[in-house]
A and B are shown apart, each in its own frame.
Chain A
């Protein structure tokens, strides 16, 4: 009994000494807070070339209308621009705050800015940190207006074309825009959008009334 008691105590003592050592060493520590990353440049270059990270405005429009919630749309511009107009269901995360945001690495993320430069740069930043599902909206907000909100519709339509453009016009109306005839490139950017996109048409859409993100299912991680 005495011998066993002695061994028992020694083990606990060893554990205590080990714990103390680890605790003391901790004082010298500087846990990395996730801002310094290593990049596989070849992998990124290959991805860029393959265009897998692109999302077309028309596809995004469809997702919004369908009420899909499997993506997060991120507006990289500043708050003022966001308040003025933003694509429905978008969340405003200025590019400097991207690293600390609540984006999860296994989510599908669609980035957009005015044109595409900031979105592309943000894509690179997030990709480097291991966000595998990050994509960019082709053409950014300009492309959105050009293709979805103010689509170009030919002045004369054949019956075959009519139905195709009818849908495009419905979608445009859904987002507060209208069709336009082919005019000088870049005109769409100057057209103002009637109202923050409110569902007017019978295209079954989500209740994306005022701006701000659609209430997404928040993951419960509590206990």
Chain B
């Protein structure tokens, strides 16, 4: 068991910044390959024309989830050391709704807006400006928001905990659900309009 490498002392903080940069390159590469540097493509998810957002996201989640599970099973990856943020139920629910609204109004999410800026979209600059303004607003209003921000803290909670199923059982169900979703997505796309294959 020697992974995650950083937490086993394979390299230090400075090097981890280089690692971050390299991983970021991969991240940005695939986001753009999928077409997520385009607000119109991203937003077509929510008009049911093109469900690439759903397909890419859930394929990525399932891929990583299976990878983590199997590496854990093989004893290569120490699952205890993987970062798991606390569940803060109310702010996450409200934050999710707000974020969803912002997504379809702004046309991007923070990660894709970076890709958009890198490929020349001027509107993405305004979007990022907006994001920073939003962060500033929360920062300034933090003493007021604090109570809500920390409400509903359920600690580190995973789906297996919530549904009283085994880790492997949840992995199977999530995979199944994703596959069903992909089949459904195909049907929806055929029904509501062609996927925008070109830019």
Residue ranges of A at the interface with B (Cβ–Cβ < 8 Å): 12, 16, 19-20, 22-24, 26-34, 36-37, 100, 104-106, 130, 132-133, 221-222
Contact = CB atoms under 8 A, between A and B. Distances in A.
A20 B70 contact: no
Contacts of B47: none
A26 B9 contact: no
Contacts of B178: 19
A23 B119 CA distance: 37
Nearest to B111: A223
A217 to B, nearest CB: 11
A190 B81 CA distance: 41
Interface of B: 1-2, 6-9, 12, 62, 66, 69-70, 72-73, 75, 78-81, 83, 85, 166-169, 171-172, 174-176, 178-179, 182
26 contacts: A19-B62, A19-B178, A20-B176, A22-B66, A22-B70, A23-B174, A24-B172, A26-B66, A26-B171, A27-B168, A27-B169, A27-B171, A29-B70, A31-B72, A31-B168, A33-B79, A34-B79, A34-B80, A34-B81, A105-B8, A105-B9, A106-B9, A130-B8, A133-B9, A221-B85, A222-B85
**Interface secondary structure of A, over-half rule:** loop
**Interface secondary structure of B, over-half rule:** helix
3 residue pairs, one from A and one from B, having the closest CB atoms: A23-B175, A106-B9, A31-B72
Nearest to B71: A31
Contacts of B175: 19-20, 22-23, 26
Nearest to B6: A106
A23 B172 CA distance: 4
A39 B8 CA distance: 15
Contacts of A106: 6-9, 12
Nearest to B171: A26
A31 B12 contact: no
